[in-house]
């Protein structure tokens, strides 16, 4: 999962790009980058680390220009080297920079394609492959005789959509042209469009992964970028758009609403906050219907995504809501950390219980989801150590049984606690006295409550049904090699020692 942003304005965009990335930081804490376009040249800064660490004053002063793109990243295959930070850029056929959120399921075939057309890539990133495929199609269409027109850019995006499979939201800059943004034909990964009017009455445009990034920069949300749609905004501020894929159908990622997106964002016509309140309503109704015998004394969320859900559950059940855990806000999201030992250590560093809220009580812990179960098990353990008489665990999402292949670093299915296990077995493994999962239909209904037009979702982590091409047993074997804990640990070691062997004497 990553965050992307692109802005075309009539004044410097460096600070707006920075502000946008800071509010998209929850989508990626591994690396960050900005590329601006100034007087026909790219100006770039990217590195591993948080946005606030990557960009210092000296970098911001160099990022001149009224048009730019930004990216914050976490890797879908574990730890990464600084070389894989985005955006990427190429010089042929034009200067093109590109960043993307998502994952391409046919990256191996695209690598072969790039080799066959003599386009060299320097990393293992599918984003760099996507950039080169896009650049190649632009080269074929324009024959390098002129800068591409809007129609030619849309033709190139159509060709790209035929070449690549997976979930993706893309922002790109073309020197002499402007900003290009496009979304996959299913709209799996989010992308929104906004505008604002400057003091001279001229319209400026912005695209971003979430609407909260628009708001912090003073842009008004216009709409979502449609599935398969491409947006082109020239350096002069002229906006063009076109649908550039066949058989487009909106099936956004359901897990975005459960966990990833900020509650103050609106995506696909749905308030993330309102959807989580609805999740709490649905889960509370199930608790009243099927688990009234638990006699719950208090509802405690596992901060922070589940707080809105837990408040609603407590209200409907008529029991107290309490903050039983203090969160260390300087610890990243634990389920994306590479390696089981590191995740276990991080949970204890991330959350600290308030014993008085647990002692002698029958506690309902509420979390957004259970992925590996590492976090859940340790939290249940902490609650019992704090004196809870009983610990019940409720998940706002159904059982996560299958790997995600569209840009979320959920592990291989054999590392998921729910894979091939019953509710009773999972409950025993995490040490809870009862385990309650949200029903899939209830989760769907909670999200579509504000937008009935959302008839279907991308929900493969719950069902094992993948809606794009290129997802088969061979691909899952490849994922095992990339995403298993052993693979991540090995990659992390290589990244930390990158380049050292060159200087060993």
Supply the residues annotated as catalytic: 2
Cis-peptide into 359, omega within 30 deg? no
368 annotated to a ligand binding site: yes
Contact yes or no for 1/209 (Cβ under 8 A): no
3-state secondary structure at position 441 = helix
Structure-token pair, residue 323: 């903050």
Longest dimension (CA), the chain: 77
Alpha-carbon gap, residue 23 to 171, rounded angstroms: 17
Structure-token pair, residue 345: 């250590």
CB burial class (10 A; 0-12, 13-18, 19+) of residue 247?
A: exposed
HEC string of 345-397 equals HHHHHHEEECHHHCCCCEEEEEECCCCCCHHHHHHHHHHHHCCCCEEEEEECC
Q: What is the CA radius of gyration of the chain?
A: 23
Sort strands 362-367 and 298-301 into parallel, antiparallel or unpaired: parallel
CB atoms within 10 A of CB 145: 6
281 annotated to a ligand binding site: no
Sign of the Cα pseudo-torsion (497, 501, 503, 505, in order): positive
3-state secondary structure at position 168 = strand
Cis-peptide into 87, omega within 30 deg? yes
Residue 207 phi/psi, 5-degree rounding, is -120, 150
472 annotated to a ligand binding site: no
Look up residue 149 and give its DSSP letter: P
Sign of the Cα pseudo-torsion (384, 425, 462, 479, in order): positive
Contact yes or no for 365/334 (Cβ under 8 A): no
For the chain, what is the total number of helices (H) and then of strands (E)?
A: 18, 21
Q: Which residues does the annotation place in the binding site?
A: 305, 367-368
Q: Which residues does the annotation place in the binding site for Mg(2+)?
A: 305, 367-368
């Amino acid at each position: 999962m990553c965050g992307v942003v692109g802005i075309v304005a009539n004044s410097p965009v460096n600070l707006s790009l920075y502000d946008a990335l800071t509010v998209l930081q929850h989508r990626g804490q591994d690396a960050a980058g900005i590329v601006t376009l100034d007087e026909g040249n790219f100006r770039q800064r990217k590195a591993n680390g948080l946005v606030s660490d990557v960009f210092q004053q000296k970098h911001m002063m160099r990022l001149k220009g009224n048009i730019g793109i930004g990216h914050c990243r976490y890797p879908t295959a574990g730890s990464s080297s600084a070389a894989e930070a985005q955006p990427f850029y190429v010089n042929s056929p034009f200067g093109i920079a590109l960043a993307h959120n998502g994952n391409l399921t046919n990256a191996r075939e695209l690598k072969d394609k790039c080799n066959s057309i003599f386009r060299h890539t320097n990393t293992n990133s599918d984003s760099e492959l996507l950039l080169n495929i896009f650049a190649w199609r632009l080269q074929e269409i324009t024959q390098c005789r002129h800068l591409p027109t809007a129609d030619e850019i849309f033709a190139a995006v159509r060709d790209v959509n035929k070449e690549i499979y997976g979930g993706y939201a893309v922002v790109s800059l073309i020197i002499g042209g402007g900003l290009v943004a496009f979304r996959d034909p299913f709209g799996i990964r989010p992308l929104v469009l906004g505008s604002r009017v400057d003091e001279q009455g001229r319209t400026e445009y912005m695209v971003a992964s979430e609407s909260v990034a628009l708001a912090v920069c003073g842009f008004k949300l216009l709409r979502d970028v449609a599935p398969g749609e491409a947006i082109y905004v020239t350096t002069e501020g002229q906006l063009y758009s076109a649908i550039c894929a066949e058989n487009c159908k909106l099936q956004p990622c359901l897990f975005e609403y459960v966990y990833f997106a900020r509650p103050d964002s609106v995506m696909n016509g749905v308030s993330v906050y309102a959807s989580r309140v609805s999740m709490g309503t649905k889960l509370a109704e199930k608790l009243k219907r099927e688990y009234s015998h638990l006699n719950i004394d208090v509802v405690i969320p596992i901060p922070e995504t589940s707080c809105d859900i837990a408040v609603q559950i407590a209200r409907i059940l008529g029991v107290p809501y309490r903050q039983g855990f203090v969160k260390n806000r300087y610890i990243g999201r634990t389920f994306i950390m590479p390696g089981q030992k590191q995740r276990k250590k991080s949970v204890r560093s991330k959350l600290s219980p308030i014993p008085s809220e647990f002692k002698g009580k029958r506690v309902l812990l509420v979390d957004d989801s259970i992925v590996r179960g590492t976090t859940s098990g340790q939290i249940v353990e902490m609650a019992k150590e704090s004196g809870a008489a009983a610990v019940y665990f409720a998940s706002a999402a159904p059982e996560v049984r299958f790997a995600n292949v569209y840009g979320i670093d959920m592990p291989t299915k054999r590392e998921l606690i729910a894979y091939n296990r019953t509710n009773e077995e999972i409950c025993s493994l995490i040490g809870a006295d009862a385990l309650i999962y949200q029903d899939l239909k209830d989760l769907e209904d909670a999200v579509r409550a504000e937008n009935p037009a959302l008839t279907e979702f991308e929900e493969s982590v719950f069902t094992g049904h993948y809606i794009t091409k290129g997802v088969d047993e061979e691909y899952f074997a490849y994922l095992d090699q990339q995403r298993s804990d052993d693979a991540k640990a090995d990659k992390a070691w290589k990244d930390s020692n990158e380049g050292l062997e060159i200087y060993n004497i």
